[in-house]
Structure 1
């Protein structure tokens, strides 16, 4: 509640603040949507040609490449993170962990995970950065690789590619993780 009062005061006192914030949110949403749609298309194609084990290979190789390409094109960092990571390179930083925990609390209170997002400007090491996160709800298709009961071939592929995997045991509608965007200011 206090944060929104401060944002309102800043928007009233600083010319261009609200417009800049709105444009950053829009750019972050667009980047997250582009990442989601591109990755989803790659995963669906992989599922059709080789099933879940093929999709895991796509996540392992193409998802990081997609994130790098969108980050390069947009001029900011985009990725995925979760409280239960598959790839340790995607582990949440302290800010992302706090947002993910807030998303979980809001979901438990009845919020639809598909609507959960958060943004704010933070300062770290003397540098201001606009940060944005958009929740990723678990869909039926996700259960092939993230569910409670996995095919033995899927389990073997996960063990080979992600020996520290924590990203299983999900149900439809669970909060799988979030897209995360950082725009340096």
Structure 2
């Protein structure tokens, strides 16, 4: 496993500006737009409805936004995590290895907001560009639902909405997960 992470790390270090596919900036732009759309949906819900009711907004909005970005671009857009809230967002092998690479880079002191990884892979005979961007954990509003000291009412709603929830126990500065994009070339 360590050898695989080292190989992935070497691959990341080889991702130089000259080697970047032209679609890479498009992936970055989609992540920025998706993140902004998600925040602009969640923040008003938190303010107007409170965190308990906002859980339902997040439950519906995040997958809907991912589908909208997937439908309007050439990319399949999703989020994933080593500690996923929704089992449908569990990482595949490439995503899991990339998330572990992000954790290693964080441990080396790298800025979480700058962690990204891309790779050209072949899946079922088709070339695919894969891209991931780390999602950092911020104090507000993240820890209300993803922290260690979750309000019992919020926890009850999380348990009802996500019975297999693993996305708690985070602290400010942790990698909560990543945006994950892939595009057939």
Scaled by the length of structure 2, the TM-score of the pair is: 0.89
Q: Counterpart of 1:151?
A: 151
Alpha-carbon displacement from aligned partner over 1:138-178 (angstroms, at most 9, x marks no partner): 00110000000001111011001100000000000000000
* Matches for 1:72-151 after TM superposition, within 5 Å: 72-141=71-140, 142-151=142-151
Q: Which structure 1 residue ranges, 5 or more long, are not aligned?
A: 12-17
Q: Indicate the SS of the match to 2:120.
A: strand
Pick closer, same or farther for the CA change 1:45–1:6 going to 2, 3 Å: closer
Describe the SS at the equivalent of 1:140.
Answer: coil
1:60 aligned residue: 59
Report the equivalent of 1:14.
none
Specify which structure has the higher proportion of helix: 1
Tell me the SS of whatever aligns to 1:45.
helix
The two structures, once aligned, show a CA RMSD in angstroms of 1.7
Cα distance, 1:47–1:4 mapped onto 2, change above 3 Å = closer
- How far, CA to CA, are the matches of 1:159 and 1:7 in structure 2? 41
Q: Which runs of 5+ in 2 are unaligned?
A: 1-8
Rg larger in structure: 1
Tell me if the contact between 2:12 and 2:117 (Cα under 8 Å) persists in the aligned partners: no
Q: How does the TM-score come out when normalised to structure 1?
A: 0.89
Kindly state the Cα deviation for residue 87 of structure 1 after the two structures are TM-superposed.
Answer: 0.4
C-alpha separation in 2, matches of 1:109 and 1:2: 15
Q: Which residue of 1 aligns with 2:4?
A: none
Q: CA deviation at 1:6?
A: 7.3
Q: What whole-Å deviation, never above 9, does each CA across 1:91-121 have from its counterpart, x for those lacking one?
A: 0000000000000011011111111000010
Give SS of 2:145's match. helix
